[in-house]
Structure 1
Amino acid sequence: KKYPEALELFKKGYELVRPSPEYVYAQNVCMLNIGAIYLLMGQLDSAQYYLDHSYSYFEKIGNSSALYHAQTQVFKLALKKGNIAEATKQLHSMTDNLQAEPTLVDIRKKFLQHYYEETGDYRKAYQYLKENMRMDDSIRNDRIRMRVAETDLRYKQDTTLMKQRLFIQKQQSDMQSLELSVYIWILVCVILLTVAAFIYFYQKKQRAFLLAETRNKIINLRMENIRNRVSPHFIFNTLNRVISHYNQSDSSYKELYNLIKIMRLNLRLTEKLCIPLAEEIDFVRTYLDLEQERFGPSLQTEIRIDPQIDADRFELPSMMIQIPVENAIKHGLRGKKGEKRLSVTVFRQDGNIIISIEDNGAGFRLQTGRPDMQSTGTGLKVLNQTIELLNAGNSVPITILIKKSSQGTDENPGCLIQFTLPEGYSYALPEGK
């Protein structure tokens, strides 16, 4: 009911569409509403002007809805002026429209109630009063339903909005949980990296310590070799002077010659970590020839080399055959009565080189509690230490097997020492990284 404000708005609307001929319908809609507002404000002359123009237009085009409303407004204008005759004339010319909006029908019936009150037809006025009351109730109910529907819509919108907010909060919570999980995983990774770095540097330090210990062992072994070489070197020089006084046909000459050869080979072999198989076998043959003079025909020796093995190129740790042969003579065969047998066999098997030294002597005694470090003397113990140092630098190690000989008896069980050397074995000492 803010009529002045509504009047200004419709006038502005009319001014917007007036310059355009294609908007003539909109122009007359604005004029009809302006006339209705003037009528409500009691400005009857202005209402007359706008209503007459719009009424004639809608009558001309035959727009039933707009014409229905325009007829109602003209009828109301006649009643406002108190011109009952004109109102009666308009009443008879008014047409009904079943498609008209209920609000427009309600307005017309209220004016008809007023008309019949003015003309004294109170029965019809009462009928329109009841219809108006029923219509008002219906409109009121419609408005209530609309308000209920609007409230329900707002509730649904608020519920939807609340669900959206809850969903967003849940997403944010999930994101926070995910971020927390990421931080936890990052922390776990940092801890694992720290632990891995600590283990790496600890192992590196341990390797450096083991390397230093290995080098110290090598230095000690070399120093021991140097000390052991002093006495043989002095004896070697003395024997050279003695043998110069013998005739080569003398029986003692060959024995002294073999002794000097052994000492010369021994001096050379102790300077090397590994030697060709041919040099090792040469030393062993010379040593056995020397012992043959002492034992006589009771000592039977045999050396067999697989023809597929190149003895000049295949290398093995220095004194690997010499030490077990020496032990077999000194500890196994020297005190034995009867036939004394000693064999050295070198052959290829499953991609490895097998070296076996076997005798039928008195057997051996364990000098250590470790099953892989069995030894019958200091020489084999030093050999074991040397092999341990070399195995540290190889993925496939040299293995040693010491057991009773297959040719032995209960009284003289004999001894079999067997070395397994992988082909391609490296004799370089391990270096620190």
Structure 2
Amino acid sequence: MPKPTAIDLLLISRYDSIYTYPVKMKDEFKKAQKGLTDSTEFYKLDLFVGLCFYLQGNADSALYLNQKVLDFCDRYPGTSALKANAWNHRSTLLQGVNQKDSSIACLHHAYNAVYQSDDRRELQSICINLADAYCQTGDLPQAAKYYRKALWVVDSLGSTNIKFSIYLGLAQTYANLHNFPLAHHYFDLAEQNPEHRLEHEKYIFANSKGNCLYFEEKYAEALPYFQQAYQVVQNFSQPSLSALVEANLGEIFTLLGKTDSAHYYLDKSCSYYMNEPTANEEVVFYINSLQAALALQEDKLATANYYLSKPYNPLRIGPSYIYLHNKRLMEYYARKKDFEKAYQYKIAVEQYDDSIRNVRSINSINEIDYRYNQDTTLLKRDILISNNQIKLSQQHNIIILVLALLIISVLLAILIFIHIRRKNEQRYNRQMALATQLRMENIRNRISPHYMFNVLNTVMPTFKQYSELAHPLQLLIQVLRGNLLASEKMAVELQEEIELVKNYIALRKETNPNTIHIEWEITEQVPLQTLIPSMSIQIPVENALKYAFEDNDEQTNTLSIHISKEDRNLSISIRDNGSGYDPGKHSNSKRSTGNGLKVLFRTIELLNSKNTEKIIFDIRNIGISDPSQHGTLVTITIPFNYQFNI
């Protein structure tokens, strides 16, 4: 195992301070980078600079730095340990923006990379993060598997300072399974573990123990732990964590009937989340539901109705939050004496209760089975027990028969459950399809005003400078007509998109004909009737013409559009030799609405969710991977059998 370097020791000594003073630590890490060349140590510091950006709420900058590190690792062999670290960090960033599946995929990349290296120090952290991620998605057997693998790694590496996190993770897993005796067993092991506690670990322990007691409905016992978590989190420069604990305190005080204290903490939490533009939609929904619960506690039905009537997207809200929301709606309508609606919500609540009980039972069985099959000592014990059972089997035929009947009954119950769940899923999918269609209508409605603004902004100088306006006006009409038609469609033929882009370029050249050289290359094998997402070429070309060459020193500014057929895919690349892609650089520009790429990314994301083969859309700064070049490269790969029906 490699010895820690000076940079490793710096990062270890400052790890806890990152969460408390992210701005100060970012400056210290940047200072440590001075004098370092394009090296592993330099990019290792870049990862932690990115973590500081993330803790300040700037996830885009953190992801940008993380991609720089991964690009460096791709260029140089022998950097598998750094690559594992980068993928591990990336999973944390994606988890923070609620991309849970992508976060798990990154952790598996990290897991594979660390096994290609002789430095396995990151393995224990990766296993714990995998367990945490699976726990959050409800896959509790997988969570238990990786927590136990982390324990094995800790023992193998001789580590002494990480068992606390593993015990705490196992405690949270059993709390989610509502196996409270085992949950408290692991909470006790974590609390008794002698290793030094980092401040953020103290916060996680207190908050998790409070949640466990909340699940047990021991609200008075949960309150001191949430108060302890709140005291610790006051030392962090993360107002979102303070607001989250305030919400927990508000709920506990509501359940205890202490409405004045509940108002105090819920109002503070609500004040933060309602004024935070990047607030998680699920958390906002949770806060509104807590406000409704407090209003019901005070018999303020009009206030409760106000919070319960707020619209929400069920695709982005967890089922447990919707379950609590439905319980409060049931109580609200019962108090209003609208017993028909109260009964409807009562049925929804009972269906969730039945479902969650079955899921917990299945998860408990799977997790226990995994524990006993993975532990070598217990396997030996199982063999001895099995031998004894064989000797006694003849005396217990009746018991075996009863067990067989019980197993058959359980299997029948599971089949009935699966049948009912499938019927519910079909109804749910129909509702989600309608919601998705409405969402896409909203997205497309935002495209046309944005695009017309840009086109009119381009044409207006022509009105002032030229007397002959026939040709520019004709181009303007063609461009506007093409854009309006495209905004009404999810997909257009490649030929239509090419015509729209050429008209737009021609319109641009009317005002500045000699600025940019345009190169088109379309191979003969390309089927021009192929469907592609509408405006998928137009938006990158428009951005390049507007921004790419503002600071460019090249004598010839060039934009190249290449379209070809590659196996079963249509390949589109858009390349310029401008200043390079820099996300966020033009966010404050008066010429930018910021909607173009955002709409395109969202459209492709929604379409990909309905297709097995995915559209790949990538935009990168050429200068990062090849310092001798500069500019931006946009690549789009579209399978020919891609379906555009949502």
Please classify the TM superposition score into its range, dividing by the shorter chain length. Answer: 0.3 to 0.5
Query: Normalization by structure 2: what TM-score?
Result: 0.33
Which is higher, the Rg of structure 1 or of structure 2? 1
